[in-house]
Amino acid sequence: MFASLTHTQIRKPLLHEEIVARLRTLIFHGELLPDVRVPEKDLCQRFGISRTPLREALKVLASEGLITLLPNRGARVTRLTPADAEELFPIMGALEALSGELACLRASDSDIAEIRALHYQMALHHARVEHHQYSQLNQAIHRKIMETARNPSLTSVYDGLEGRVRRVRYLANSSRQRWNEAMFEHEAILRALEDRDGEQLAVLLKSHLMSKLGAVKRALGSISYSSECL
């Protein structure tokens, strides 16, 4: 009895899990900046907890690469160097390519219809030069393809990497020309998916990521390094 009702059990959220989540959002929102030392005591006071669960949370984030732990010298948000970006984007490209292949194998007609809808909504925001909404839909499309691949391990590996480059994503479409290119690439991506041409979709997604890497690198070059990003 209670078969279907109570199987989704209610769990009191564990403190260190809470802390992992809250630290992640702090990092993503730029409230914790790269390379600045954050004493454990400060974070403890901020969250109103003791050091034990905080330290457990830091270990988890460190093993994700989001923060760096220097022995006896505290934790700091990992600074993403151009070299890191150059390593990470090809990996993400390979994983997105795989997601595309699997998605072509497994997508239902309604999956594709959903992605098509997202695509045309995105195209609209592109035409209206609405960066933020465009960006949201762009991410939604890639997430939906990833989800359609129905490989949770793939998703979680990808998300781990995505978190590390999150703060430079917005640099990708900073030039108008690159933005137009990206939109063009997305047209081809949609077509490959509609044709369920997995091989083609894989190639497109991979090169899409590599173009993005190029754009990010150019943008990084022009902000001359010292400033607050990365």
Partner DNA sequence: AACTATCATTTTGCATACAAAATGCAATAA
Partner DNA sequence: TTATTGCATTTTGTATGCAAAATGATAGTT
Which residues bind to DNA, rule: CB under 7 A?
Answer: 12, 14-16, 37-41, 49-53, 55-56, 69, 71-75
Residue 59 binds which entry of a second copy, DNA, none, with Cβ cut-offs from 5 to 8 Å by kind?
A: a second copy
Stated length of the chain: 230
Footprint (CB under 8 A) of a second copy, residues 143-182: 151-154, 157, 161
| Contact status: 223 vs a second copy (CB under 8 A) | no
C-alpha 193/C-alpha 149 separation (Å) is 12
Beta strand 67-69 pairing with 75-77: antiparallel
Give the SS3 label for residue 143. Answer: helix
| Contact status: 54 vs a second copy (CB under 8 A) | no
* Contact present, 97 and 193 (Cβ < 8 Å): no
| Contact status: 14 vs a second copy (CB under 8 A) | yes
**In sequence order, which residues have a C-beta less than 8 Å from that of residue 167 and are 6 or more positions away?**
28, 30, 80, 229, 230
Rounded to a whole number of angstroms, the CA Rg of the chain reads 20
Among residues 69 and 183, whose Cβ is nearest to DNA?
Answer: 69
Q: Segment near a second copy (CB under 8 A), from 31-39, 48-56, 127-135, 182-190?
A: 48-56
What sign does the CA torsion over 104, 210, 131, 170 have?
positive
Residue 151 binds which entry of a second copy, DNA, none, with Cβ cut-offs from 5 to 8 Å by kind?
A: a second copy
Query: CB-based burial of residue 104 (10 Å sphere; 0-12 exposed, 13-18 middle, 19+ buried)?
Result: buried
Among residues 19 and 98, whose Cβ is nearest to DNA?
Answer: 19
Q: Segment near a second copy (CB under 8 A), from 22-30, 57-65, 172-180, 183-191?
A: 57-65
- Residues making contact with a second copy (CB under 8 A): 11-12, 14, 16, 52, 55-56, 59-60, 62-64, 71, 84, 87-88, 90-91, 93-95, 97-98, 102, 151-154, 157, 161
